[in-house]
Chain A
């Protein structure tokens, strides 16, 4: 982990593995549970609709979406593509371990994605401003202690 001291805060730079290229900026949305995009996320709105999911009722649109890995049908890749087309996709995706559904969706939907970040997911706080660099394979966020 590299720490930069900016004028009034601490920016943490976490390294991971590049999966889908590009840079995405947004607020972290952290799910401790895997996500199924087919039937788990509304393709028109980006709102998580899976009953009992920790993110149920929350929109993934414009967020840096952090979750362990994808689950469910491979058709989920096309749902991610649909979200990207209608402007409700996450700005970037961070997975503990990429699997084919999410990796495919991120690439065909032009969503920057990394996996294997060198930090446990439970250390990441929902709402924190973050940048994912899918080419460098990094996650950068504001680590200023609250």
Chain B
């Protein structure tokens, strides 16, 4: 027993070095982080999503550290999106020197038994259930897992998520505990949401993230579908620090647990506030798939593109596994001249820096594109995005 945290027999064996030096080190790391955050124990996880996949972020020292490790992941684990598609980086106009370093980082993770999908939607690749404990990193994935699936994860850093993947456990604190998952404010949406799609819900999240800050919001007055929930959560995690939200009558914990909302700060959101997020600025490229597209979103894009040819670059982003499972739909999208890329997105790829303004259907991309790619961003519905990408 290390002071302050309860460890089981297997943990003690790992700490004694019986499963090798890397696992020993990784468990030391989890125990130390557990102490920092006041965890009383470790909890087994179902899967991990490891950040620190981009060479741009971790640099040569991070790569050196990864290369020094010697163990295999004991739970399913994927990577965060990186700056380029692993297989088609030349086609995206990525600098060969950048590509080489990025490939080295990916290879270092492969050696550790991490699945090489670089995606913000691991929930399309691994079945993730209500109550599952996870160690995920990317903010929109964390929000979706917690809010839409009712699974439990904090927002992990690179080393802590990797340690969790190699040990199969994570310190039990924060959003792993019931008491930290209750609503802290109410957002009442006063709008006719009947015709709303992903973009409108993304715009709602863009606005609501600023209202919520780091609190857990409880929405009333909306009935979003899963892809729309994905859009709300991604945007709220970008404009605020929201890792969990509830929607009355929709999200699993709001349905199963009767939360007492009395005494909570209640903030109204009006239709006009959502409308003001939309603009009509001219754009020179269109990008969808932030977060990475679901199979249903790919099918919708393919339907809207039927018989059309793109007149502007149209980027579609999805997880490699989702692309492979929907090969015919992807082929159909690419027939228009659009490109469907895995592993990366408009927020993290340097290839997007060449555009002055980009049209997106994502509240998260709307928040990040101006800072990360240097250009302007405009949000529109998926139908508007396809119309703009194909108009003469």
Contacts and interface: CB of A to CB of B under 8 A. Distances in A.
Interface of A: 17-21, 43, 74-75, 77-79, 81-82, 85, 98-100, 103-104, 106-108, 137
A81 B65 contact: yes
B260 to A, nearest CB: 33
Interface residues on B, range: 20 to 34
A67 to B, nearest CB: 16
Contacts of A75: 57-59, 62
Contacts of A98: 32, 35-36
B157 A103 contact: no
A107 B15 CA distance: 13
Given A78-B59, A104-B159, A108-B25, 9 more contacts: A74-B157, A75-B59, A75-B62, A81-B61, A81-B62, A82-B64, A99-B36, A104-B29, A137-B3
Contacts of A77: 157, 159
Of A74, A82, A85, A107, chain B has the most CB atoms within 10 Å of the CB of: A107
Nearest to A82: B61
Contacts of B62: 75, 78, 81
B160 interface: yes
Contacts, number: 62
Contacts of B158: 74
5 contacts: A17-B4, A75-B58, A75-B59, A99-B36, A103-B29
* Nearest 10 pairs of A and B residues by beta carbon: A82-B61, A78-B61, A78-B62, A103-B32, A107-B29, A104-B159, A81-B65, A19-B32, A74-B157, A98-B36
Interface in B260-287: none
Contact of A85 (B4, B36, B58, B64): B64
B33 A104 contact: yes
A75 B160 CA distance: 13
B384 interface: no
A20 B59 contact: no
B157 A107 contact: no
Of B2, B58, B159, chain A has the most CB atoms within 10 Å of the CB of: B159
A19 B34 CA distance: 10
Nearest to B65: A81
B61 A100 contact: no
Contacts of B35: 17, 19, 98
B101 to A, nearest CB: 14
Contact of B64 (A17, A81, A103): A81
B28 interface: yes
B112 to A, nearest CB: 14
A108 B29 CA distance: 8
Nearest to B30: A107
Contacts of A81: 61-62, 64-65
Nearest to A105: B159
Contacts of A19: 32, 35-36
A107 B3 contact: no
B65 A21 contact: no
A104 B52 CA distance: 14
Contacts of B65: 78, 81, 108
B27 to A, nearest CB: 10
Nearest to A109: B65
Contacts of B157: 74, 77, 100, 104
B369 to A, nearest CB: 21
Nearest to A43: B61
Contacts of A99: 36
Given A104-B33, A108-B25, A79 B2 contact: no
Given A98-B32, A98-B35, A107-B28, A79 B61 contact: yes
A85 B2 CA distance: 27
Contact of B3 (A18, A21, A78, A108): A18
Contacts of B29: 103-104, 107-108
Contacts of A74: 157-158
Contact of A108 (B2, B36, B159): B159
